[in-house]
Structure 1
Amino acid sequence: MPLHVPPAPAPALRSVLAALGSPTAVREARTPSLRAAQGPATPELPLPVHVLDGITATGPSVTRLAGWRFLIRCGDRAVAAAETRLTPDGWAFSHFFEGPYITSTEQALRQADTMPQPYQPRLLSVPGLYMLTLWLHGDPAADATAGHPEPTDLLVPLAPAPPGIAAHRPHRAADLLPVLTHRVTPAPLLGSPA
């Protein structure tokens, strides 16, 4: 398997397991699929979620670790996801959710698993474009909680992707980040009134 999924911090996993074991947390979750799931729900495929805080034309993008996301599997499919966040007291459960990014993440991971080169999967959020990508980091042994997209890393936009950016098509970070820079950067004012 070319994907080397990094281990999540133990407190993050424990917080998700505690939330899954809490009837109140599951019942109050806005995830009908999770509430209706039959059988045990298990957290799988922990992925660090990095947020793209800045895109620079001349240097590395500025990213920060925002949390860990777990796909919640019931039977043979993922029905929801759970997200954790770092608090002053450590990792804590944040929320359950569902939607198109669940199946899109699964599809992108299956696609990446067929690639010949080993990768470390991460998620990269681009808030300015309401975009989420599967970030395939080229160094499978790297610290999954740090770093920025290297030029040769692959970014796979998840569906729904912004208009003009194809979902599930791998892009080298060096090719996609300039496109995102152009999209996120506000247009300059054309002049001032006289």
Structure 2
Amino acid sequence: MPLHVPPAPAPALRTVLTALSSPTAVREARTPSLLRARGPVTPELPLPVHVLDHVAADGVPSVRLAGWRFLIRSGERAVAAADTMPTADGWAFSRFFEGPYVTATESALRQAETMTQPFQPRLLSVPGLYMLTLWLHGDLTADAAAGRLQATDLLVPLAPAPPGIAAHRPHRVADLLPVLTLRSTPAPLLRTTA
């Protein structure tokens, strides 16, 4: 298998397991698919979630770790996801959720498993475009919490992707980053003279 899924911090996993075992946490999450799940549910495929804050004038992206996401599996498929976030004391459970990104993440991971080159999977959020990508990092020994995009890494936009960006199509960072930078830069205000 070409994907080398990094281990999540043990305290982050414990917070998800605790939330899953709490009927109150699951009920208050209001994720119908998690409430309807038959049989045991398990957190799997932990992925570090990084956020693209900005791209400097020299083209170097600023990326930071925002948390870890676990796909929650029931039977043969992921029915929800659980997010954790770093705190001053370690890790805290953040939320359960469902929706298109859960299915899209699972689909993109299956797609990445068919590639010949090995990768370390991560998620990269681009808040300025309301976009989430599967980030396939080429350095398998890298610390998953370290956020350094390499030009040869691949980004696979998850559906729904912004207009004009094809979902589930792998792009090299060197090719997609300029597009993301241009799209997320606010247009200058036009001044009119009277």
Q: TM-score, normalised by structure 2?
A: 0.97
Q: Match of 2:187, SS?
A: coil
Is 2:184 aligned against 1:179?
no
Contact 1:60 1:148 in 2 (8 A): no
Q: Deviation per CA, 1:149-188, whole angstroms, max 9, x where unpaired? A: 1100000000000000000000000000000011011122
Q: Match of 1:16, SS?
A: helix
| TM superposition shift of 1:192 | 6.2
The list of structure 1 runs, each at least 4 consecutive aligned residues, that deviate by more than 4 angstroms after superposition, is: none
The percentage of counterpart residues that share the same residue type is 79
Q: Which residue of 2 aligns with 1:169?
A: 169
| TM superposition shift of 1:191 | 4.7
Q: How does 1:99-118 map to 2 (within 5 A)?
A: 99-118=99-118
Q: Deviation per CA, 1:28-69, whole angstroms, max 9, x where unpaired? A: 112000011110000000000000000235232101100000
Contact 2:51 2:125 in 1 (8 A): yes
2:81 and 2:144 map into 1 onto residues whose CA distance is 19
1:36 and 1:157 map into 2 onto residues whose CA distance is 29
Contact 1:50 1:66 in 2 (8 A): yes
1:179 and 1:88 map into 2 onto residues whose CA distance is 35
Assess, with a 3 A threshold, how the Cα gap between structure 1 residues 121 and 79 changes in structure 2: closer, same or farther: same
> Unaligned stretches of 5+ in structure 1?
none
Contact 1:34 1:79 in 2 (8 A): yes
> Unaligned stretches of 5+ in structure 2?
none
Measured on the aligned residues, the alpha-carbon RMSD in Å equals 1.1
Q: Which residue of 1 aligns with 2:55?
A: 55
Q: TM-score, normalised by structure 1?
A: 0.97
Q: Match of 1:54, SS?
A: strand
Q: Which residue of 1 aligns with 2:143?
A: 143
